[in-house]
């Protein structure tokens, strides 16, 4: 009998919650999968968007269950590890500075310390 494997209402809610919070990753994947788009300069801004979505959702106890919020905190920590790896490569900052949209404005809007901007 397959009814034994049917998802409960709470389980369907968890599935919907996962779809909601993982949409930002789907959108980023689709964006970076396009051809003809210079993507190196948009890696850090995309990571910022993902970080903001994860951070906001992780503290939203009215919308998401505790297991989803805990998973988002782990995902945010993992994202931060990759974000710190961008510090090991000058290419990301160079690409952003040379990009006509970003230049140094991104770093200023992100409230980078002036010395960090000078180093970039």
For 84-105, the pLDDT digits (tens) are 898 888 888 888 888 877 778 8
Structure tokens at 107: 């770093």
In the prediction, which pLDDT does 53 show? 92
**Residue ranges for the chain with pLDDT beneath 50:** none
Helices within the chain (DSSP H only) = 9-32, 43-58, 66-85, 90-98, 105-109, 114-119
In this prediction, residue 38 carries a pLDDT of: 65
pLDDT at 27: 94
CA distance 41 to 93: 8
pTM, entire model: 0.78
What is each CA distance from 84 to 10, 22, 30, 63, 78, in whole angstroms?
37, 22, 23, 30, 10
What is the pLDDT, as a whole number, of residue 62? 82
The predicted structure's pLDDT at residue 120: 66
């Amino acid at each position: 009998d397959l009814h034994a494997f049917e998802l409960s209402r709470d389980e369907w809610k968890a599935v919907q919650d996962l779809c909601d919070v993982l949409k930002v990753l789907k959108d980023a994947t689709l964006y970076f999968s396009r051809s003809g788009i210079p993507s190196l300069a948009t890696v850090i801004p995309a990571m910022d968007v993902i970080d903001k979505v994860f951070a906001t959702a992780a503290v939203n106890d009215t919308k998401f269950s505790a297991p989803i919020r805990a998973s988002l905190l782990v995902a945010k920590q993992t994202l931060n590890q990759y974000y710190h790896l961008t510090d090991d490569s000058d290419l990301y900052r160079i690409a952003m500075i040379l990009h006509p949209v970003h230049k140094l404005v991104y770093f200023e809007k992100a409230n980078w310390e002036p010395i960090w901007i000078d180093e970039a």
